[in-house]
Amino acid sequence: MSTTTPVAARLALEDGTVFHGTAFGATGAEATGEVVFNTAMCGYQEALTDPSYSGQILTMTATQMGNYGIAAEDIESGKPQVRAFVVRELARLHSNHRAETSLSEWLAKHGIPGISGIDTRALVRKLRTQGALRGVVSTGGTASDAELVAKAKAIPSMAGQNLAACVSPAARGAFTEDLGAWSPEPARREGRTFRVASLDCGAKRNIYRNLVDRDCEIVTLPHDTTAADIRALKPDGLFISNGPGDPAVVQATIATLKEIAGEIPTFGICLGHQLLALALGATTWKLKFGHRGSNQPVRNLLTGRVEITSQNHGFCVDEKTLRAAGGEPTHAHLNDGTLAGFRHTTKPIFCVQYHPEASPGPHDSSYLFDCFIDIMQSRKPVTAEVMEKHQSASARAAAAVAV
């Protein structure tokens, strides 16, 4: 247990609100970004390392964070991606045989400030009412409250920011790690390895683990890789990953997808879903406060089944423009009716707004990776029958594991 003197910290919002709390992580630091919230009860480490949170200050609605420390196996990228972390209570001790360090020590190592001891219920209510707000976290700084509020007001809006370019890899690479002990069942392959080219806009590692677990060779590519360079790889499938920022300004990726999506069987997740829609000619819009958490209900419109999903996004595809562009909705968010997935009716293209790899979250949607394998085999559009087959098989496997 730490015996050091607590350091004061503040969270200042653009609307003039200032929360006073206690610093953890990097003290004497200041961070700016869009303040958002996540409703998951656990999984803070996976959330903190999700590149989709780049440029944001993350608030957790669960009351205590840090109680199981930090384990190397649970990170989703090479480092914490958030600008700052906001919690109600920071656990004074962590208890987990897998933990290598504490949450506070890990954030301090990476220069990420945190603030604890504030009323996160009041903060989240404000964000739900007013929408995501720009904010500043200051730990041990001397600036006045008014100066911090002025800084918050000067932060660029998330709309118009191409943050995918900031987290995308600089060069071609490979990913070979599988799910290992976390695999819910043995690999279900027929002796063939599929080469998947991934336009990496900030991918979570567990997406790739799920594909490797299904005998896929993963070639990771910068987000601005051209169609010609992708064709040169002779891939069996094209994957477009999750990522941060405004999808409408990721023009290099959109241009590539306009040329090649569907020529090769194509699957997108989260930002990838939005970029594929934009490439087809649809439009996107910014949600008021986004969908972030591991308990988001989605209905598969092709099978009628409901999935509880993990989500992290602040933008959404406009369904009317998607239909006009030739896309067919396949999934809908049950809380607000927004589009959560679509397919192309004549090309092997499908995608979802949420995270079938979870990490953290339920595995209801892992069948979508099997659907991707299926369309790489057939090179035909995904059908209701294909989704029903894999969704039913996934449900049976999960029931067997539970027993």
Instruction: Look at the chain and report how many structural domains it folds into.
Output: 2
Q: What is the DSSP letter of 214?
A: T
Q: Which of 316, 314, 382 is nearest to 345 (CA)?
A: 382
Closest Cα to residue 328, out of 294, 282, 290?
Answer: 282
Domain contains 2? no
Q: What is the CATH number of the domain that holds 365?
A: 3.40.50.880
- Among 91, 123, 154, residue at a domain's last position: 154
Residue 183 included in any domain: yes
Catalytic residue among 34, 216, 223, 270: 270
Q: Assign residue 52 the CATH number of its domain.
A: 3.50.30.20
pLDDT for the residue 180: 73
Within this chain, do residues 338 and 281 fall inside the same structural domain, yes or no? yes
Boundary residue ending a domain (122, 154, 186): 154
Residues 86 and 125 in one domain: yes
Q: Which domain holds residue 27?
A: 8-154
- 3 assigned to some structural domain: no
355 catalytic residue (yes or no): yes
Closest Cα to residue 65, out of 31, 11, 24, 32? Answer: 24
Q: What is the pLDDT of residue 74?
A: 93
Question: Do both 287 and 240 map to the same domain?
Answer: yes
The catalytic residue among 223, 333, 344, 355 is 355
Q: Does the annotation count 270 as an active-site position? A: yes
At 140 the pLDDT is 85
pTM: 0.94
Same domain for 259 and 180: yes
Q: What pLDDT score does 13 carry?
A: 98
Task: Tell whether 219 and 333 lie within a shared domain.
Answer: yes
Amino acid found at 227: A
Q: Is 238 a member of any domain?
A: yes
Cβ pair 120, 60 in contact under 8 A: yes
Please indicate, yes or no, whether residues 250 and 360 belong to a single structural domain of this protein: yes
pLDDT attached to residue 182: 56
DSSP 70: B
Claim to verify: residue 367 and residue 240 sit in the same structural domain: yes
Does 1 reside within a domain? Answer: no
159, part of any domain: no
In order along its 403 residues, the chain shows pLDDT tens digits of: 455 789 999 999 999 999 999 999 999 999 999 999 999 999 999 999 999 999 999 999 999 999 999 999 999 999 999 999 999 999 999 999 999 999 999 999 999 999 999 999 999 999 999 999 999 999 988 899 999 999 999 999 999 999 999 999 999 999 998 887 555 554 444 556 999 999 999 999 999 999 999 999 999 999 999 999 999 999 999 999 999 999 999 999 999 999 999 999 999 999 999 999 999 999 999 999 999 999 999 999 999 999 999 999 999 999 999 999 999 999 999 999 999 999 999 999 999 999 999 999 999 999 999 999 999 999 999 999 999 999 999 888 776 655 5
Give yes or no: residues 220 and 358 share one domain: yes
Whether residue 16 is found in the same domain as residue 44 = yes
Selecting among 357, 363, 371, 390, the annotated active-site residue is 357
